[in-house]
Amino acid sequence: EPLEERAVRFAETHLAGRFAVGIHIRNQGYNGLTTIQVKALAACAAAVTAAQGVDASAVVWFVASDSQQGRAIVARHAASHGIPVVHMDSPLGGAEWRGSTRGTQAALVELRVLALCDELVLSPGSTFGRAASMWAAKDPHVLLKEGSRAGTCPRKGDVDGCCHSWRDSLLPNPSPGGGGGGYGLPVPRLKRAAWSCMTPEHLKHMARYHSDCRAS
């Protein structure tokens, strides 16, 4: 089944008819969030939800995370507000999963579903969330980890991510041992499939990000 169809089928099953808030939690590796920061991210998602003025029964949170702990923290916070939480059933795990074709495909589907949400609340410093926001052509709410506003999630065009190659931000790096996604797999077919999904609106949003990056 094509990856786009898998993502759309999941969205139609779990998100359709509800206001969907997509939450990306990065717990592992560089720029991973602490437990306190994940709780702050969940609070941001609750604030974004409340701003819509809709009943909790008309809302769903989609959680994309690299750890079960992150999912569990957000699920508990959502339950306290009566909000259902959904996520992909793909395994969470280490290098073997991340370095496999199945793992790469699962990450792409998860990224695409994240991009299909109505609002995005993201971990900072992760190209996964930035790629989803660019694919969705939406400015996300991004958690601030430092400063006087730490723990809040202002909406912003997060221009840091545009300094990476768009293609390598969207998909794992094709070079073993390379940067970017770090999966080390040749994925030209996945890259072509991803580019085929782009619309003029997506491309305009990408162009704005890259223009902002050059200006900065």
* pTM (2 d.p.): 0.74
Residue 155 pLDDT greater than 80, yes or no:
yes
Residue 1 pLDDT greater than 60, yes or no:
yes
Residue 87 pLDDT greater than 80, yes or no:
yes
With bands split at pLDDT 50, 70 and 90, how would you rate the model's confidence at 118? very high
Question: What number is the average pLDDT over the span 136-160?
Answer: 84
The residues spanned by each domain of the chain are: 3-158
CB count in 10 Å sphere of residue 168: 18
Can you give the three-state secondary structure of the chain, one letter per residue? CCHHHHHHHHHHHHCCCCEEEEEEECCCCCCCCCHHHHHHHHHHHHHHHHCCCCCHHHEEEEEEECCHHHHHHHHHHHHHCCCCEECCCCCCCCHHHHCCHHHHHHHHHHHHHHHCCCEEEECCCCHHHHHHHHHHCCCCEECCCCCCCCCCCCECCCHHHHHCCHHHHHCCCCCCCCCCCCCCCCCHHHHHHHHHCCCHHHHHHHHHHHHHHHHC
Query: What pLDDT digit, counting tens, does each position of 3-13 carry?
Result: 889 999 999 99
CATH architecture of 3-158: 3-Layer(aba) Sandwich (3.40)
